[in-house]
Amino acid sequence: MRPTVANSILGGSMATTICPVCDCEITDGGIEVAVGGNPITVCGEECAEKVKTAYSIVAKRKTAAEQASKNNLSVIREVYAAFGSGDYARVLGYFDSRLEWFAADNSPLADRSPYRGLDAVKTGVFDRIAAGFERLEVSVAEMFEAGNKVVALGYYDGTYRGSSVTAKAQVAHIWTLANGRPIRFQQYLDTLRVAENAKAAASGGGRN
């Protein structure tokens, strides 16, 4: 019976096995190499080197991908921290200069959306937020990533200027990052609640 490659990868028996790299028969027991904690038996030094090289390339790629994703999540966390403290200059400092900002349909800032570039985002988004709100932060309930995108789910939480009305509304943000910098922002928003809150604030109410 001819042993399969799977048998040889799993260590096989002491009988003849097949080198998983070059398919030759291993008659002298071969050489064992560890690949990600799993031992693989190959025919000799040459095939052992091939396995080690291939594994190190895969491992490096994996580490780079993990590093990039960790960076993307931490960048967006820092963006929300800066936004919550009202430091919009610092928020802009995280963004790629080509950033495109898409406000949710029917949101108060949809009138000039999309905002392209940092000047447009500063004057169209952050200056108007600063003018309208005493305080506004994103209370993130969940944040995860998909490829080069980071998705944040939660609520806006804040207060309107000159009003006791709480600016609370459910929100979802999808960030696209390139080289650790946000390059695209898409907002989804409970615009009905925002409109109700804004109306209450404008009429001097304190609904909440």
Contacts to Zn ion by CB under 5 A: 19, 21-22, 42-43, 47
Do 68 and 81 form a contact (C-beta atoms < 8 A)? no
Q: Which residues contact 29 (CB under 8 A, 6 or more apart)?
A: 14, 41
| Min CB(62)–Zn ion separation in Å | 25
| Nearer to Zn ion (CB atom), residue 20 or residue 124 | 20
| Nearer to Zn ion (CB atom), residue 17 or residue 159 | 17
| Min CB(1)–Zn ion separation in Å | 21
Identify residue 87 by its one-letter amino acid code: D
Identify residue 70 by its one-letter amino acid code: K
Structure tokens at 2: 């001819």
| Nearer to Zn ion (CB atom), residue 12 or residue 158 | 12
| Nearer to Zn ion (CB atom), residue 47 or residue 109 | 47
| Min CB(180)–Zn ion separation in Å | 41
| Min CB(60)–Zn ion separation in Å | 24
| Nearer to Zn ion (CB atom), residue 46 or residue 105 | 46
| Min CB(18)–Zn ion separation in Å | 9
From the list 128, 198, 187, 195, the residue with the least C-alpha distance to 160 is: 198
First to last CA, the chain: 79
> How is 61-100 classified by DSSP, letter by letter?
HHHHHHHHHHHHHHHHHHHHHHHHTT-HHHHHHHS-TT-E
**What does DSSP assign to residue 147?**
T
**What does DSSP assign to residue 124?**
I
User: How many other C-beta atoms are found inside a 10 Å radius of the C-beta of residue 144?
Assistant: 11
| Min CB(148)–Zn ion separation in Å | 39
How does strand 115-116 pair with strand 31-35?
unpaired
